[in-house]
């Protein structure tokens, strides 16, 4: 938690009021034969320069769709995207494809979950990193290669001159994820969208990659949107956290507040299901049931069917987000009424 606080302090100085990236009432539908599936349902949040926002939730709750929508990488149609995604005040959803291409990779970059398949097997990693540079900056091929070497050094790959000519299959998973990060950061973007960057890696490498991301974020002064289902990752990395469930934002708070006092039963359940070193429990705690089918959302709170605190009202009425204790937002009747 120490590092989280440190980055708080350092970024607070240069922080302005205007959000760098602001998602406002984002709604994503996938029309299908048996009704539209609403993947993201009216989610709003702000990401300020130099900060890290965590987007947490289990599989299928709309985290990745949100990330893809920000970069406009969702094929639309078939997807229907409503709401606004403002980057420096400009609505990305209103931009034409050319203008959007200039933003991708240059101002907003993304790293993906699977480092094993996110690199083109037939291109050397130097060329793949160089591609980003060549796309957005007018530089010669030699300079592009030098930039690739420099980026490899930045992501702490030993002997970058040698590795720059290698192919992805010659690298380990952790190194590939470092290359992905180098690719994403080659143009020093303002925002990095990291979609489960450590999920496919083993635990020791996870810690290294997270430390690297934190360090590079501070060094390059960029903001980061970190998508994960791992609350441990959130605790180490994020300033603020948005908890999503079934396409909705159910809780938002600063990392400290969230871990100090989780308000939504879903957040609490997520925390309870984290294995802890301190308990002697033989079985891991799980959240019973599954996320409801996005094509057939139940009336009322979407978490009601899995919630121990749910009462009649929860099954009929949808709870709205309400600020409790300063900037701690939660959408839950039980929390808002102070029971449970």
Distance of closest approach, residue 28 Cβ to other proteins, in angstroms: 17
245 Ramachandran zone, left/alpha/beta (phi>0; psi -120 to 50): beta
For other proteins, the closer of residues 13 and 158 by Cβ is 158
For other proteins, the closer of residues 42 and 167 by Cβ is 167
Contact flag: residue 118 with other proteins (CB under 8 A): yes
For other proteins, the closer of residues 87 and 112 by Cβ is 112
- Binders of other proteins among residues 24 to 43 (CB under 8 A) are none
- Cα(204)–Cα(182) distance, rounded to whole angstroms? 20
> Given candidates 141, 161, 172, 273, which one binds other proteins under the rule CB under 8 A?
172
Contact flag: residue 261 with other proteins (CB under 8 A): no
> Given candidates 27, 80, 156, 313, which one binds other proteins under the rule CB under 8 A?
156
Contact flag: residue 219 with other proteins (CB under 8 A): no
Contact between 129 and 147 (Cβ < 8 Å) = yes
The span of 139-147, 158-166, 222-230, 293-301 binding other proteins (CB under 8 A) equals 158-166
For other proteins, the closer of residues 49 and 108 by Cβ is 108
- Binders of other proteins among residues 174 to 193 (CB under 8 A) are 174-175, 180, 183-184, 186
Contact flag: residue 5 with other proteins (CB under 8 A): no
> Given candidates 59, 102, 141, 327, which one binds other proteins under the rule CB under 8 A?
102
Give the CA angle between residues 284, 241, 239 to the nearest 5°: 115
- Cα(200)–Cα(188) distance, rounded to whole angstroms? 25
Residues that bind other proteins (CB under 8 A): 1-3, 71, 73, 101-106, 109-110, 112, 114, 117-123, 131-132, 135-136, 156-159, 163, 166, 170, 172, 174-175, 180, 183-184, 186, 204-205, 207-208, 211, 236
């Amino acid at each position: 938690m120490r590092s989280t606080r440190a980055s708080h302090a350092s970024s607070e100085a240069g922080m302005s009021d205007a959000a760098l990236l602001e998602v406002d009432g984002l709604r994503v539908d996938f029309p299908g034969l048996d009704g539209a599936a609403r993947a993201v349902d009216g989610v709003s949040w702000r990401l300020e320069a130099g900060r890290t926002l965590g987007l947490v939730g289990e599989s299928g709750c709309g985290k990745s769709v949100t990330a893809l929508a920000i970069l406009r990488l969702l094929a639309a149609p078939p997807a229907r995207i409503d709401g606004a995604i403002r980057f420096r005040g400009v609505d990305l959803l209103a931009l034409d494809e050319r203008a959007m291409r200039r933003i991708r990779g240059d101002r907003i970059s993304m790293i993906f979950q699977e480092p094993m398949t996110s690199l083109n097997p037939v291109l050397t990693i130097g060329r793949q990193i160089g591609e980003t540079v060549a796309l957005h900056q007018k530089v010669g091929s030699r300079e592009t290669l030098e930039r690739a070497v420099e980026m490899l050094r930045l992501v702490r790959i030993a002997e970058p001159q040698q590795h720059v000519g290698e192919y992805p299959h010659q690298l380990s998973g952790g190194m590939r994820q470092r290359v992905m990060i180098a690719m994403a950061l080659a143009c020093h973007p303002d925002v990095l969208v990291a979609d489960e960057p450590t999920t496919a890696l083993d635990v020791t490498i996870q810690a290294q990659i997270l430390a690297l991301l934190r360090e590079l974020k501070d060094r390059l002064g960029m903001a980061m949107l970190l998508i994960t289902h791992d609350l441990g990752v959130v605790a180490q990395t994020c300033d603020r956290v948005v908890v999503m469930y079934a396409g909705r934002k159910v809780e938002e708070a600063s990392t400290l507040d969230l871990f100090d006092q989780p308000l939504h039963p879903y957040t609490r359940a997520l925390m309870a299901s984290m294995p802890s070193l301190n308990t002697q429990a033989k079985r891991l705690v799980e959240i019973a049931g599954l996320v409801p089918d996005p094509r057939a959302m139940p009336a009322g709170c979407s978490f009601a069917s899995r919630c121990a605190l749910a009462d009649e009202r929860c099954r009929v009425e949808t709870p709205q987000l309400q600020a409790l204790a300063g900037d701690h937002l939660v959408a839950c009747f039980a929390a808002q009424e102070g029971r449970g």
